[in-house]
Amino acid sequence: MSEPMQKFVSLGQAWPEKRPAGERAGDFHEIHREFIAEKAAAQASRCAQCGVPFCQTHCPLQNNIPDWLRLTAEGRLQEAYALSASTNSMPEICGRICPQDRLCEGACVIEQSEHGAVTIGAVEKYLTETAWREGWVAPIKPRRERGEHIGVIGAGPAGLAAAERLRLRGYRVTVYDRHDRIGGLLVYGIPNFKLEKDVVQRRAQRLIEGGVRFVLNCNIGQTISFADLRGRHDALLIATGVYKAKSLNAPHDRATVKALDYLIAANRIDLGDDVAAFESGALDARGRRVVVIGGGDTAMDCVRTAVRHGAKSVTCLYRRDRANMPGSAREVVHAEEEGVAFDWLAAPKSVRAGKSPAVRAVRMRLGAPDASGRRAPEPVAGSDYTAPGDLIIAALGFDAEDLPGQWQAPELATNPAGAVRVDPATYATSLPGVYAAGDIVRGASLVVWAIREGRDAADAMHAHLEERAVSARIAAE
């Protein structure tokens, strides 16, 4: 039998078919069609099977990518899926929304040799969709039931990943979330054209059927106190994410719309909800000149959503150049194809409301590197100009909310940015039996990192409870 791998020289890089920009900009369906089996196997066969798999080391989950690519190329799809799922609680979600160009595919050896990376994300999505269709996604069935009860605050990716891992070990798990649907920002922060919501709902239903309990519309500190929650559970995981929008810090910035407010409204409309701020026109982009300030993935979600809502024009204002944009380069290409204009090296100075709304901006140049190593943007003297905008959206990132204040838990230690402090090895907070993971610990980051930390925190909680159980048995003897 001939070698099924290392075909990157004879076989070019190929993606699942992308729907034409004119077609996809008119709806909220995902922009790529799915691989067919032969295409997925062919692209998987391009893997070089490196001795040092940089794709794996650059994946936060340390997914065993070369092995499941080989299994895919050999047609052993069920084994490939099982291997993929062994390290990832949501491979079909990561296959859709991970910035692979900055992670596994960006580190691919054949990408560095200019042959074009293996399309890892598309194969990962194909594998998991096949697994769901064929019934290979196993239900959650613990080997034994345990008496301990664990609470998880937050039904986003970190919380869901932890809940799955803990339930598989037999713990009774209850997840509390402020929203009315399971998924956190997977549902309300990411548009359907990147992640259709039935994909998230399918994972949520598996958890429900596996015995995980969800308490929705639950604001800790209001619906239930943090102290009461601690009393109900043997251990508690904080996985709230970060929702506090970074300020524009410019005159009249209250005339801007917060990116998350806009995205939540848009996602709710797409889910069939009534949203007063959308119906009043306050958050409806139709027929308006939209300006989005920011350069991350949230900004790209906003500009591409505005296009789909029928904006008259959409402009992204970013203070650095294209090469230094923090968001996915592929997202920028998608946005450009859909008609978004990018105003590089431009920063807002003030916002003008009223009859002639606009952003007063200034041209920037890149100076010496800052503390992070990136070249710091500097204003160009005398380069002020006006960017008209009827709907101005600030997408500058997110900070942690004041959890100790909201929850009346001053003893919950946080860092100067408001993120919860944890032991980096155990995810334990300053409170006994309370752990934290995901964005509330590391700051606004990627879904894949939230999944990784949710899984790791669950393992640490299990180790703690096992140790406690052993100590209890020894004391009783």
Structure tokens at 206: 């598996």
Tell me: do 206 and 254 sit in the same domain.
no
Check pLDDT > 50 for residue 1: no
Of 13, 12, 34, 11, which is closest to residue 127 (Cα–Cα)? Answer: 34
Mean pLDDT of 96-106: 94
Within a 10 A sphere around the Cβ of 50, how many other Cβ atoms? 14
Domain span at 122 = 21-134
Tell me which amino acid residue 441 is: V
> What's 40's domain CATH number?
1.10.1060.10
Residue 76 in any domain: the answer is yes
Reported confidence tier of residue 147, pLDDT bands at 50, 70, 90: very high
Whole-number Å distance between alpha carbons of 129 and 442: 30
Structure tokens at 13: 């890089």
Tell me: do 205 and 253 sit in the same domain.
no
Task: From 397, 417, 452, give the residue that closes a domain.
Answer: 397
Lowest-confidence pick of 83-87, 152-156, 244-248, 438-442? 244-248
Task: From 110, 134, 158, give the residue that closes a domain.
Answer: 134
What pLDDT sits at residue 10? 85
Tell me: do 333 and 472 sit in the same domain.
no
What pLDDT sits at residue 38? 87
Task: From 68, 101, 134, give the residue that closes a domain.
Answer: 134
Question: What pairing do the DSSP bridges indicate for beta strands 346-352 and 341-343?
Answer: unpaired
Tell me: do 238 and 257 sit in the same domain.
no
Residue 7 in any domain: the answer is no
Lowest-confidence pick of 60-64, 255-259, 300-304, 473-477? 473-477
Residue 287 in any domain: the answer is yes
Tell me: do 450 and 329 sit in the same domain.
no
Tell me: do 375 and 265 sit in the same domain.
yes
Angle between helices 120-134 and 77-87 (to 10 degrees): 110
Whole-number Å distance between alpha carbons of 339 and 222: 44
Tell me: do 223 and 294 sit in the same domain.
no
Tell me: do 183 and 101 sit in the same domain.
no
What pLDDT sits at residue 4? 79
Check pLDDT > 90 for residue 78: yes
What pLDDT sits at residue 441? 98
Q: Is the pTM of this model over 0.85?
A: yes
Whole-number Å distance between alpha carbons of 70 and 83: 11
Residue 414 in any domain: the answer is yes
Residue 309 in any domain: the answer is yes
CA distances from 173 to 19, 22, 33, 451 (A): 41, 45, 36, 17
What pLDDT sits at residue 3? 64
Residue 224 in any domain: the answer is yes
Whether residue 92 contacts residue 115, with contact meaning beta carbons closer than 8 Å, is answered with no
Residue 221 in any domain: the answer is yes
Whole-number Å distance between alpha carbons of 343 and 435: 42
Of 80, 124, 86, which is closest to residue 103 (Cα–Cα)? Answer: 124
Whether residue 220 contacts residue 407, with contact meaning beta carbons closer than 8 Å, is answered with yes
- Name the CA dihedral angle for 446, 451, 454, 458, rounded to a multiple of 10 degrees: -160
The count of domains in the chain is: 3
Tell me: do 262 and 331 sit in the same domain.
yes
Mean pLDDT of 6-29: 90
Tell me: do 336 and 415 sit in the same domain.
no
Check pLDDT > 60 for residue 2: no
Non-local CB neighbours of 186 within 8 Å, separated by 6+ positions: 93, 156, 157, 195, 200, 447
Span 331-354, pLDDT tens digits: 999 999 999 999 999 999 999 988
- Name the CA dihedral angle for 140, 146, 149, 152, rounded to a multiple of 10 degrees: -30
Whole-number Å distance between alpha carbons of 215 and 425: 29
Tell me: do 389 and 457 sit in the same domain.
no
Residue 139 in any domain: the answer is no
Of 387, 86, 368, which is closest to residue 250 (Cα–Cα)? Answer: 387
> What's 453's domain CATH number?
3.50.50.60
Tell me: do 260 and 222 sit in the same domain.
no
User: Average per-residue pLDDT in the chain?
Assistant: 94
Lowest-confidence pick of 158-162, 403-407, 467-471? 467-471
What pLDDT sits at residue 6? 83
